[in-house]
Amino acid sequence: MKKAIFGLGNPGQKYKNTPHNLGFEVVSLFRKKEEFPSFKIAPRWYSRVSRGETDKESLILVKPQTYMNHSGQAVRAIKKDKDLELSNIWVIYDDVDLPLGKIRVSRGGRAAGHNGIKSIIKNVGGKDFVRFRLGIKVDNIDDLAKHVLRPFTQKEKKTAHEMVETAVKALQLATEKGIEAAQQKFN
């Protein structure tokens, strides 16, 4: 069984270490821990990808290079080329509805105002893909657009790093034993 795991974010150095790039961080750390090859540019998929095998399945790790609001273009291209069912599309992204440090694993649902998820739903024609949501809510968010694109504060960095580590563990468990096992342990 082949799965595509999309870590959402924005390309470029200026977005590194921002809440919106947590998806990139999770797939990068997962790649490293699973000893998959380095990410390579895949122009027809609008992405950087790494392919590898776990004990259970073949995975494509994806960092769309379309910017967050157009993530669906990359998801659609890979879904079509690989003839993937929505259940084999897993998306990792930041979620302002969850407190910083919390993660949730789910299947389906609405976009809840997240433009990357809106783009994916629009481009793949459905919402029943798997989601790994990483909390970025902190006190006093005045401007959401500025919040997701600004670097983490020194105080937030440690919590964000721990959350990325936890999300990788959830992803590893989900690839080994299924989404339900990851939900039971990490939600």
Active site residues per annotation:
20
* β-bridge pairing 89-99 and 130-137: parallel
Distance, CA of 23 to CA of 6 (rounded, Å): 7
